Chain A
Amino acid sequence: MNPSDLVIDVQGITKRFGNRTVVNNIPMQVRRGEIYGFLGPNGSGKTTFLRMLCGLLKPDGGSGRCLGFDIRSESGEIKKNIGYMTQRFSFYEDLTIEENLDFIARIYGVPGRKAAVEKSLEQLGMTARRSQLAGTLSGGWKQRLALSACLIHEPQLLLLDEPTAGVDPKARRDFWEEIHQLAAGGLTVLITTHYMDEAERCHRLAYIAYGNLLARGSVEEVVKAAGLTTWEAAGPDLPALAEKIRGKPGVEQVVAFGTTLHISGRDAAQLRASVGPWMTGAYRWQQIESGLEDVFISLMETAKDNFS
């Protein structure tokens, strides 16, 4: 692969707050036009990592390039070419929609500013509401405004920190449509999320917990690498069954999914042996593909044992 195609190419990124290592030795390679998912439990260091990428925080260790610029010494250049959408709505609630867009456009020195703001308002469908204060928008609309504002200077890289938290399914789907269109046009997107369906819409993803990188690759690669076996059981009184199976050797997760139960573990043979006694009578069993969620929970449980 041609290294100039790597929009993000960093190694060993580390950040400590006091003596707590919040981001530990994380590498990341993201290609141009790629939608890269960044997942991990709360407090795992995702936001901190994004802040280091865009020069808001200085990493304590590690090096690399973002958009071809050194993340340590050229953060000014990086900032000009990225759009960072923070986890919390962070535009001015006491400015109108139009004033917010105009402010950001001025800050970036967007050429043809007025037209750019106008276009942005149009795409948002907010032309008629341009004088509405941003603070009076609903959560979903705030996210859309934030995304538009991040895009107004036509960045080459978008960093989106949980952009769809609290957004309804339709708006979420529209949002992802747009992201895919933008990526098809050559924009690179690094996005954090806690939603599995969103993780599956990413080209590739990385999973971190407690600041450590646990898995990365495409969804299939991540699932495969985890080596998890999952059985699905259906039948009467599943909660009782779950109680009996939980804690048996090789059984790592027992999760209720509607009218079925998913039981998974990494040691296929031991798992089979443990659930064997119930594979009779009223229960129907089948082996299924492990889901991304099962994989992540399994990774997290293991990480808990290893790192904390």
Chain B
Amino acid sequence: MKLHEFNWRRFWTIVGKEFIQMRRDRVTFAMMIGIPLLQLILFGYAINSDPKHLPTAVYSADNSVFSRTIVWGLRNSSYFDIVREPKSEAEIQRLLAQGTVQFVVHIPVDFSRKLLRGERPDLLLEADATDPSAVGYAIAAINLLTTTVLNRDLTGPLTNLRGSPTPFNLVVHQHYNPENITQNNIVPGLMGVMLTMTMIIITALAITRERERGTMENLLSTPARPGEVMIGKIVPYITVGYIQVFLILLASKFLFNVPIVGSVSLLLVLTFPFIVANLAVGITFSTIAKNQLQAVQMAFFFFLPSLLLSGYMFPFRGMPGWAQDIGEILPLTHFLRVVRGILLKGNGFAEIAPDLWPIALFLVMMLAIGIKRYRQTLD
């Protein structure tokens, strides 16, 4: 598309039409604004909540007053409900694997003997950390417990075992998800996830719909040029993308008290290439999809790996090498680092640059493919 051929009047006409259609398509519009809100509330508050009474198994190989006190202390903390007393290691693993219990507390054989000798025996806490938000508070609670719970037993000559270092050593084994993702991590990340999902689905749909309904043929038989049509159709969705960004930033600040350390305007500027990269994916999909259903399916085909391999769902470093390699290609992976870097760490442009060029590269490649394929479908 040569620049002098680009006609702004026709371009703005198409933008205006797109906004009218967007306003009229209540369901899609509700989706674009509603899904981020819903996700924010679900994700945000699920993390914010402080789950208690988590099912716990106690495996005590040491039947002493100390172990009984620890169990009593766990119960009293109201975070742990002791529901099982497994008899073997195999049973413990099964309970954890099946999710019957969230925690297993191991009291080793010579716990009381070592304790009395001042050898600081290990107390092992195994946690099913699949959902880290579920275990975070409980682990904090048991940490607190270790310092004080035995105080009432450590009287008389044992008083010197009180305090720090704690009389015994708490060892926490988190299973399934070793890194804890906190709400500070998730809420800003949601920005990238939302943009990926809506930008791709909505653009793919908007263009496929125009073709499916035959209106594209009509439009292209007018003097409107393909470039004007395509850009005119996606510009409104850039606006939608920024509305989502603002929603999430506001929610981060006022609902979830996520610290916003870095520059919001830097973030807004750097969001642009990310939005355009996703739009380019949407355009490419729209040139392949035969109908709107296929467009949505393809969007999910791209969205799921983005969600899973970007480090949003699972800690990036916890993934196997091949998964990390795929993750490195996806723009969401880098955008998450950008968002978290700016918002949480206060990163500036210099620290972020290494994550910008992969997004830019992806953008250029996708745009090239998208435009090439878009040209072909016209014929």
Contact = CB atoms under 8 A, between A and B. Distances in A.
- Tell me whether A and B are bound partners: yes
Interface of A: 51, 54-58, 76, 79-80, 82, 84, 86, 88-95, 99, 103-104, 106-109
A107 B217 contact: no
B215 A90 contact: yes
Contacts of A51: 217
Nearest to A133: B24
Q: Is the interface of B mostly helix, strand, loop or mixed?
A: helix
Given A91-B218, A95-B21, A106 B13 contact: yes
B13 A56 contact: no
A108 B25 CA distance: 26
A76 B223 contact: yes
A250 B5 CA distance: 61
Contacts of B215: 90-92
A104 B222 contact: yes
B222 A79 contact: yes
Given A94-B24, A95-B20, A84 B218 contact: yes
B221 interface: yes
B9 A106 contact: yes
23 contacts: A51-B217, A56-B378, A57-B379, A79-B223, A82-B221, A84-B218, A86-B218, A88-B214, A90-B213, A92-B21, A92-B215, A93-B213, A95-B17, A95-B20, A99-B17, A103-B17, A104-B222, A106-B9, A106-B10, A106-B16, A107-B14, A107-B222, A107-B223
Interface residues of B, number: 25
A149 B379 CA distance: 24
Contacts of A84: 218, 221
Interface-central residue, A58, A90, A92, A107, by most chain B CB under 10 Å = A107
Interface in B18-34: 20-21, 24-25
Contacts of B378: 56
Contacts of B21: 92, 94-95
Interface in B348-379: 378-379
A79 B17 contact: no
Nearest to A82: B221
Interface in B218-276: 218-225
A86 B222 contact: no
Given A84-B221, A106-B16, 18 more contacts: A56-B217, A56-B221, A57-B379, A76-B223, A76-B225, A88-B214, A89-B214, A90-B217, A92-B21, A92-B215, A93-B213, A95-B20, A103-B16, A103-B17, A107-B14, A107-B222, A108-B223, A109-B10
Contacts of A103: 13, 16-17
